[in-house]
Amino acid sequence: MNSPGWASTRARAASWDDADALAATRSAFLLREGVLHCDGTGVRARTTGSGTAPDVLGRLASLTGATPDEIRLADSASMNTFATLLAATRLRPDRPVLLLDSGRAAADRYLARSAADFRGGRLHWWDPAEDLDSVVDEQVAVVSLSHTDPVSGGVRDAAAITARVHAHGALVVWDVTGSTGALDVALRDWDADFAVGCGHKFLGGGPDAPSFTMTARRHHDTLAAGPGDIGGGVPHPAARADNTLSTSGLGAGLAALEGIPPERLHAKTAGLVRLFLELLVDLPVDVVRPASGQPHGPHVTLRHDHARWLTGELFARGVLVDHVEPDLVRFVFAPAWLSYGDAVEAAETLHEVLAAGLPPGAQPSARRMRTANEVTNSQNNAAAP
């Protein structure tokens, strides 16, 4: 589009890019010409094997507000969720209930149920519309929540929630996969017990990057006093990283971010998202908004009856996004390699696709995204004997 409005918007974005303290970081990552990575999964740093395992742990610690001895690298985020849930239940053996927020990915839901079954406990789901204090009682061992809501992009007040959960005697596992490298994550300040994150989304480790866990130091002695694993051969998440992981592309991605304060990444993320949202006014799509009072995190989710078609058209024009079945399209804004100009281009391309219109005979999605209550009810019904 070449309208005067878009020209002035592009000029404004260019001035912000010129003043951006993170602009030079972009060159450290492999970015294909004509492709915008708004999917949060495929970007890789230019080199691999940067630094030893201690270097990698130290850099992760600085981005998450932890200490290096609290960080472990291994496996996928879902497997690490399984491991941390098992570890947490070992610290609260008299409490049978694991509580997860209902918006989690299918793999997380499956492995959380497996963890509950493994310990002979029960898995309950929390609808974010409910008051958390009303569902955390003396039966709940651990509460596992996403810091950034996977659908709405809303950012939860982790410190306040952790304090509320601790007041009920339960432990907290924070999923920071949608936050680390894009938001100000401060696990020790939050008083988090455990956390799980990934190396591929905002850290430039590429699709095969390992995940990581944080286990608060105060729990190390108790976990170490037990058997060498937490059951079934699963190592407890306080175990140290394998040296072979230093050859991962994650090391190079973290090296590119070294010295950048998390609050600076957070500010850039907020600017990208704010600009993108500003450019969506009057589009025939529904923007999934965070809950009242929650700030917006690093992704923007749109609901559209023809989400699969919309995703394909964006891909064809070089804008890579996430499609969440059946009717969601998610734009992810990584501050390390996306510019303000990229945010404008993503919005401009979205306008072009929607202005072109649907092909003849296009059918809407067969079903709409279920509400959190519907998800919770179906999961609880499935768990009933």
> What is the per-residue pLDDT across 261-316, written as a single tens digit (0 to 9) for each?
999 999 999 999 999 999 998 898 899 999 888 999 999 999 999 999 999 999 99
DSSP characters for 324-356? ETTTEEEEE--TTT--HHHHHHHHHHHHHHHHH
* Opening angle at CA 126, ends 120 and 132, nearest 5: 110
Cis peptide preceding 93, ω within 30 of 0: no
3-state class (DSSP) for residue 140: strand
Strand partners, 73: 212
Predicted pLDDT of residue 379: 41
Backbone angles phi, psi at 144, to 5 degrees: -115, 120
**Beta pairing, strands 29-30 & 44-45:** antiparallel
* Opening angle at CA 123, ends 152 and 105, nearest 5: 35
Predicted pLDDT of residue 79: 87
DSSP characters for 273-328? HHHHHHTTTT-SSEEEPPPTTPPB-SEEEEE-TTHHHHHHHHHHTTEE-EEETTTE
- CA-to-CA distance for 279 and 350, rounded, in angstroms? 10
- CA-to-CA distance for 364 and 289, rounded, in angstroms? 22
- CA-to-CA distance for 73 and 211, rounded, in angstroms? 6
3-state class (DSSP) for residue 379: helix
Residues of the chain with pLDDT under 70: 1-4, 42, 47-54, 225-248, 361-385
Domains annotated for the chain, with CATH where assigned, are 4-45+261-356 (3.90.1150.10), 53-257+373-383 (3.40.640.10)
Q: Label residue 361 left, alpha or beta by phi (over 0 means left) and psi (-120 to 50 means alpha).
A: left
355 to each of 283, 330, 331, how far by Cα in Å?
Answer: 9, 19, 19
- Show the tokens assigned to 233: 């051969």
**Distant-in-sequence, close-in-space partners of 211: CB < 8 Å, separation ≥ 6:** 73, 74, 75, 76, 77, 79, 80, 177, 196, 197, 198, 199
pTM of the model: 0.88
